[in-house]
Amino acid sequence: MNERERLKELLLEKSYREGTFTLTSGRTSDFYIDGKQTTLDAEGGYLCGRLLHELIRAEKTEIAGVGGMTLGADPLVTAVSIVSYLAGSPIPAFIVRKEAKGHGTGNYIEGKNNLVPGCTVALVEDVVTTGGTLVKVIERVENEGFRVGLVATVVDRQEGGADTLAAHGYPLRAIFTRAQLVEGS
């Protein structure tokens, strides 16, 4: 079994649930993917880091940082950063806060001092539905002077997120679409 197949197995075992759920977007759904159950698992986190790192390395643009919105992206950016270090091409991680820090520096972005000003970064997320969270992250990251060269997710629910991001000029790369994860396509 390859790493992608094993990650699929873990996602279905640990993260995928059927029922009635209210999503972050406010929509209701007959299934839910709690990505953190997989990304916070030692093996699952490692596999997400490996496969997202592969997506980053496949980009034509050099990616000099990897980040995302807290909390869903926290284990992912750490995993990708560690995998990149072990591969001999370290990529620093950063985290985008939901609200600006209320004390000290007042930053939206933690870890930005590890990034070269103006560099190109990758943004990652565990699950994408509408793309709204990633649009906010892109805005905050670009307002800090960085360029977004890649937007990637573990699972694209195929509910408009890729279209939303494409409309803003950012194609979404996914390890799995919902169809690939659930229907085996």
CATH number of the structural domain spanning residue 144:
3.40.50.2020
CA-CA distance, 177 to 111, in Å (whole number)? 30
**Angle, alpha carbons 107-140-74 (nearest 5°):** 70
Number of compact structural domains in the chain: 1
Q: Please report the pLDDT score of residue 25 as a whole number.
A: 80
Domain containing 111 equals 3-183
Q: Please report the pLDDT score of residue 184 as a whole number.
A: 66
What phi and psi, each to the nearest 5 degrees, are found at residue 49? -60, -45
pLDDT < 70 regions, the chain: 102-105, 184-185
Nearest to 83 by CA among 46, 133, 126, 55: 46
Q: Please report the pLDDT score of residue 103 as a whole number.
A: 65
pTM: 0.95
| Cα–Cα distance list, 122 to 28, 95, 103, 153, 182 (Å) | 29, 12, 27, 11, 26
Residue 59 CB coordination number (10 Å): 14
Q: Please report the pLDDT score of residue 75 as a whole number.
A: 98
Q: Please report the pLDDT score of residue 100 as a whole number.
A: 80
Tokens representing 3 are 């790493």
